[in-house]
Amino acid sequence: MANAATGGFIARARLLLAALVFALASGCATNGTDARDPIEGFNRAMYGFNEGFDEAIGKPVATAYRDVLPSFVRTGVRNFFANIDDLFIGVNNLLQGKPIDAVSDIARLAVNTTIGILGLIDVGSHIGLEKHNEDFGQTFGRWGASDGPYIVWPMFGSSTVRDSMGSVLDVSLDPVRNHRPVNVRNVMLLTRATSKRADLLDASRVLEEAALDKYVFQRDAYLQRRRSLIYDGNPPREERSLRGEREPQAEFAPAERSEAANDPVPTATAIAGADDAEQPAQTR
């Protein structure tokens, strides 16, 4: 049994290495054509590497986790880590000038850590303290920073220049990553990563079926999603008549679009950053 498992692992590690070499070789040959993604060749290589890693290790581990543990245990694990996140979600809400949301986040943290037994039970959501989604990348966006070029990091995945800077803060302040002793921290990091991946097993299957080009599909979804998060789910609505009738070339030619777009809400597009290429005209 043990030998078979080790053999399987080595085979997977080889597959992973092959994926990285292949990704670097093939990815660097292509040129970016999208203004939001000037380093598409590099990004595709990293994307290929991440996919290879996921196929070899991420997905099998997450599948085993989901199949072995009962749902209430997995919910407890998810809640435990989500509770820890609430601290800096609160901090970011404060930095974004939303003190009421920040108070709600800290109240959630207090209630879930105590009544919710170290965060295992999400009592807060049941008493009307809604979970928020904030990070430093969103805070920078709120302050007016545009996305900057899209970047795919090895292991970490999709990001932009702005979100990468945010992530540096997110990661360095992460209570789990700063936890000691190191061996306990490592177990926590692995458990959290496995839990997050397991929650996405269905989604990755759906994505597989939905996208013609998964790389493009994920990139666009990431950029749309970040824009929505910065506006807390209520970005300026695009008029239907303006959708689909623009020249798609506009998004590949940034120099032409800014004046031609005749944008009625300049501040909105400034915040939206790269997304303004996607949606040149918006209304509130």
Partner 1 sequence: MLNSLLRLARHFLLFALAGWAGAAAAQEVLPDVLVKNVTLEVIDIIRKDKDIQAGDQKKVIDLIELKVLPHFNFTSMTGLALGANWPKTTVEQKKQLTQEFRTLLVRTYASALSAYRDQKFDFLPLRLKPTDTDVNVQVRVVQSGAQPVSIDYSMEKTAAGWKVYDVIVAGVSLVANYRTDFANQVREAGIDGLIKILVAKNSSNASSARVEKK
* Residues binding partner 1 (CB under 8 A): 33-34, 47, 50-51, 53-54, 58-59, 71, 75, 78-79, 81-83, 122, 125, 130-133, 152, 155-159, 193-194, 196-197, 199-200, 202-207, 209-213, 216-218, 220-222, 224-225, 227-229, 233, 235, 237, 240, 243-249, 251, 278-279
Torsion, Cα 52 58 63 68, to 10 degrees, reads 150
Alpha helices by DSSP H, the chain:
2-27, 40-53, 59-68, 71-95, 99-114, 123-126, 136-142, 161-173, 182-199, 201-210, 214-230, 254-260, 266-272, 275-278
The nearer residue to partner 1, 181 or 244, going by C-beta atoms, is: 244
Burial of 119 (0-12, 13-18, 19+ CB in 10 A): buried
Compare residues 3 and 234 and give the one whose CB is closer to partner 1: 234
Q: What is the dihedral of CA 234, 240, 243, 245, to 10 degrees?
A: -160
Q: Taking the complex as a whole, how short is the minimal distance between the CB of residue 75 and partner 1, in angstroms?
A: 5
- β-partners of residue 151 are 159
CB of 193 to partner 1, least distance (A): 4
Q: How far is the CB of 209 from partner 1 (least distance, A)?
A: 5
Complex with partner 1: residue 157 or 254, whichever CB lies closer: 157
Least Å from the CB of residue 4 to partner 1: 24
| Residue 2 vs 284, nearer CB to partner 1 | 284
- Taking the complex as a whole, the smallest distance from the CB of residue 94 to partner 1 amounts, in Å, to 18
Of 7 and 30, the one with the shorter C-beta distance to partner 1 is: 30
Measured from the CB atom, is 78 or 142 closer to partner 1? 78
CB of 34 to partner 1, least distance (A): 7
Q: Output the CA angle 279-219-262, nearest 5 degrees.
A: 15
How many Å apart are CA 46 and CA 67, to the nearest integer? 29
Instruction: Tell me the β-bridge partners of 152.
Output: 158
The letter for the amino acid at 101 is D
